[in-house]
Chains A and B, each alone.
Chain A
Amino acid sequence: MGKIRYERPIIQRMNTGFMNKFGTRTEFEPVTNIEGVSVKSLINQYGSPLFVISEKQIRRNYQNATRIFKTRYPKIQFAWSYKTNYMNAVCQVFHQEGAWAEVVSGFEYEKALGNRVPGNKIIFNGPDKTDEQLIAAARNNSLIHIDHYDELYSLIRLSEENNLRPRVAVRVNMDTGIYPKWDRFGFNFENGQAWNAITRIINSENLELVGLHCHIGTFMLSPLAYATATSKLCELTWSIKEKFNKTLQYLDLGGGFPSMNTLKGAYLPGSDTVPSIDQFADAITDVILGYGFKQGDLPLLILESGRALIDDAGYLLGTVIATKRLSDGRRATILDFGVNTLFTSFWYDHKVSPVESFGKHTEEMVLYGPLCMNIDIVRESITMPLLEKGNHLVVHKVGAYNMSQWMQFITLRPNIVLIDNENNTHVIRKAETLEYLELNEQVPEHLKQNSLK
C-alpha cells in the first residue's frame, strides 16, 4: 500500500470578534493550464519565472472593446498604447486587429515604424520630442500631440525651416472632478491656456490642427470623469467651428480605462468594483452624440486604451524557493520573482493561484521576491494553501506595464512566451544572459586586471 499524500503540519489560532462579513476562501482551485497549455510543461520548457501572453485573449479583448464602442458611435479608432506593452509580437496582434500606434517617445516611434505602422497612423504623444523626431513625424504625416508651448513654438519654427505642414492636436488637461487632478500633460482648459494654444495653431500657416486630445488619468474608476472630459473637448470643438469655421477630424480621449486588478488598499476585489468598458463607452459617446454636431461633423473618436486590453492576457509563472517563519509568527514564502520582474506588485494586490492541488487548509502569508532588498514584497498578506519549496504559482492579469517597466536588477529578466490562436507557444523575448547585459559595457584597459588570487 502506498504512502498517504503529505501536507506539512499547521496550527492556527481561531479568532473571534473580528469577523469579515465577506469571509475568506479556504479552497483554492489550482490553475493547471493556460489556454489549454499545461503550466508545468511551460515551466519545464521555458524556465521559471516565465511571462505568458495569450494571443486569443488580446484579440477577444480588442474585439469586445471595439464592438462596445462601435455599437454606440459610428466612428471609432483604437490606438495601441506602446508603453503598456511594447513587445513587437504584442503590438502586431493589435495592429492586425486594426489598432493604430500611440507612442510617447522617439524610441517607441521607431518601434512603431519598425512594426510597419504607416506614419499617418502613429499618434505621437509625450512631453519629450526632439527636433529630429518632430521633423521625422511631420514628414511621415503622423499625428503630433502638442504638450507644451516650447514644443508648439519649436514645431512652428521647424515647419517653417523645413517647409512642412504637420498634422497636430492639442493636448488638453482639465478638472474632471477627480483627485488627483492630472494637469501636467498639455494645456489647461479652465484657465484658457488650451484655447490660446488652439488659436496660435490655427493662426499659424504651417500647422494643421486636426484634433484634440486629453489623458485624464490612469486606472480611472469613474466613467463620469470621461463624460466631463468629453464635454469639455466638445465645447472646444464647437467653439473652433463657430469662431474659425473649422471642423476638427477627431477627439482623442486618451487611455486610463482600468483592468480588473485590485488596487492596493482596496477593500473589495477589482472584479467587484471596476466599471465595465460599456459604462465608459456610454459616458463618452452619450456626450458627443448629444452635443448637437451635424452628422457629417461628428469627430472620429480615438481611444488609447492599454491596460484594459492586455492585462488579463498576461500571466507570470513562478516557483517557491523557500518558506520560513517570521519573528511575529507569520509565514513567509520566497518566490523566484520579485518586484523587479513583477513591477505592478507596487500597485496591485495581484491574484495568485497555486498550480498543484492542495488540501483544504490554508494559511496567511507574505509573498517575498528573491531580491536581497527589504522592499521586495509581491503580496503583503495573502491566504494560500500550504506551499512548499518547488511548488509553482500563477500570477494573473500581468499583461500591462510589467514587460515594459520591469527592472533588470539583481536577476536577469525571464523569457516571454506567447500562446497563439492554435495554442502553439512562441518565445517572443528571450531570457536575458550575462553576455547580453554586458554588451554595452566597456572596461578601461587599466581596470581589466586585478591581483586577487
Chain B
Amino acid sequence: MRLKKNIATSDEGFIFNPGTGDSFSTNEIGTEIISLLKENKPQEIIIETICAKYDVDQNQFEKDLDDYLSQLKDYTILE
C-alpha cells in the first residue's frame, strides 16, 4: 500500500492528483497518515505512530484507518 509517486501533497493537508486533475483536502491526522504512506511505512507502524501520539483507542483507529485508506483507493491516490 503506497502513495502514487506523482501525488503532490503539502503540510497543510492539500493533495493534488495530476493524473486526474483532482484536488483534495485532508485534516491533521490525514496529513500525518499521508506523510507516513509517502515514507512507505507499513500499516502497523502507522497505527503505532498515531496511537502513541493521539488520544485514541487502537481498535477505533484501525476502523477509521481502514475507512480512510478505502477512500484513498477510491480517489486513486494509492497505487
Count A/B pairs, Cβ under 8 Å: 64
Interface size range on A against B: 10 to 19
Whether the Cβ atoms of A9 and B68 lie closer than 8 Å is yes
Q: Please, which residues of chain B bring their CB within 8 A of the CB of A8?
A: 29, 64, 67-68
Which stretch of A10-18, A64-72, A399-407 is in the interface?
A10-18
The complex places the Cα of A12 from the Cα of B56 at a distance, in Å, of: 22
Q: Please, which residues of chain B bring their CB within 8 A of the CB of A11?
A: 15, 24-26, 30, 68, 71-72, 75
Of B23, B29, B55, which one neighbours A9 at CB under 8 angstroms?
B29
The complex places the Cα of A386 from the Cα of B56 at a distance, in Å, of: 14
Interface residues of B, count at CB 8 A: 26
The complex places the Cα of A388 from the Cα of B54 at a distance, in Å, of: 16
Of A3, A10, A13, A325, which one neighbours B27 at CB under 8 angstroms?
A10
- Max count, chain B CB within 10 A of own CB: residue among A7, A12, A325, A361: A12
- A17: shortest Cβ distance to chain B, in Å? 12
Q: Please, which residues of chain B bring their CB within 8 A of the CB of A12?
A: 24-26
Whether the Cβ atoms of A325 and B67 lie closer than 8 Å is yes
Of B56, B61, B68, B75, which one neighbours A13 at CB under 8 angstroms?
B75
- B3: shortest Cβ distance to chain A, in Å? 12
Whether the Cβ atoms of A4 and B53 lie closer than 8 Å is yes
Closest chain A residue to B26 by CB distance?
Answer: A11
Closest chain B residue to A325 by CB distance?
Answer: B67
* 8 Å CB interface, B32-68 against A: 33, 53-56, 60-61, 64-65, 67-68
The complex places the Cα of A325 from the Cα of B70 at a distance, in Å, of: 10
Interface membership of chain A positions 1-44, coded 1 if the CB is closer than 8 angstroms to chain B and 0 otherwise: 01111111111111000000000000000000000000000000
Whether the Cβ atoms of B22 and A13 lie closer than 8 Å is yes
Q: Please, which residues of chain A bring their CB within 8 A of the CB of B26?
A: 9-12
- The answer to whether the Cβ of A177 comes within 8 Å of any Cβ in the partner chain is no
User: Are A9 and B64 CB-contacts (below 8 A) given A329-B71, A359-B27?
Assistant: yes
User: Are A10 and B70 CB-contacts (below 8 A) given A3-B53, A3-B54, A3-B55?
Assistant: no
Whether the Cβ atoms of B24 and A14 lie closer than 8 Å is yes
Whether the Cβ atoms of A6 and B54 lie closer than 8 Å is yes
The complex places the Cα of A359 from the Cα of B55 at a distance, in Å, of: 15
- The answer to whether the Cβ of B74 comes within 8 Å of any Cβ in the partner chain is yes
- A432: shortest Cβ distance to chain B, in Å? 33
The complex places the Cα of A5 from the Cα of B23 at a distance, in Å, of: 27
Whether the Cβ atoms of A2 and B55 lie closer than 8 Å is yes
Q: Please, which residues of chain A bring their CB within 8 A of the CB of B71?
A: 11, 325, 329
Whether the Cβ atoms of A10 and B30 lie closer than 8 Å is yes
The complex places the Cα of A11 from the Cα of B70 at a distance, in Å, of: 11
Q: Please, which residues of chain B bring their CB within 8 A of the CB of A9?
A: 26-27, 29-30, 33, 64-65, 68
Q: Please, which residues of chain B bring their CB within 8 A of the CB of A6?
A: 29, 54-56, 61
Whether the Cβ atoms of B27 and A361 lie closer than 8 Å is yes
The complex places the Cα of A14 from the Cα of B15 at a distance, in Å, of: 10
Whether the Cβ atoms of A10 and B68 lie closer than 8 Å is yes
- Max count, chain A CB within 10 A of own CB: residue among B15, B64, B70: B64
Q: Measuring CB to CB, which residues of chain A are less than 8 angstroms from any residue of chain B?
A: 2-14, 325, 329, 359, 361, 386, 388
* 29 A-B pairs whose Cβ atoms sit less than 8 Å apart in the complex: A2-B55, A4-B53, A5-B55, A6-B61, A7-B27, A8-B64, A9-B26, A9-B27, A9-B29, A9-B30, A9-B33, A10-B68, A11-B15, A11-B24, A11-B25, A11-B26, A11-B75, A12-B24, A12-B26, A13-B24, A13-B75, A14-B24, A325-B67, A325-B70, A329-B71, A329-B74, A361-B27, A386-B27, A388-B60
Apart from A6-B29, A6-B55, list 9 A-B contacts with CB within 8 A. Answer: A5-B55, A8-B29, A8-B68, A9-B33, A9-B68, A11-B26, A11-B68, A13-B24, A329-B71
Q: Measuring CB to CB, which residues of chain B are less than 8 angstroms from any residue of chain A?
A: 15, 22-30, 33, 53-56, 60-61, 64-65, 67-68, 70-72, 74-75
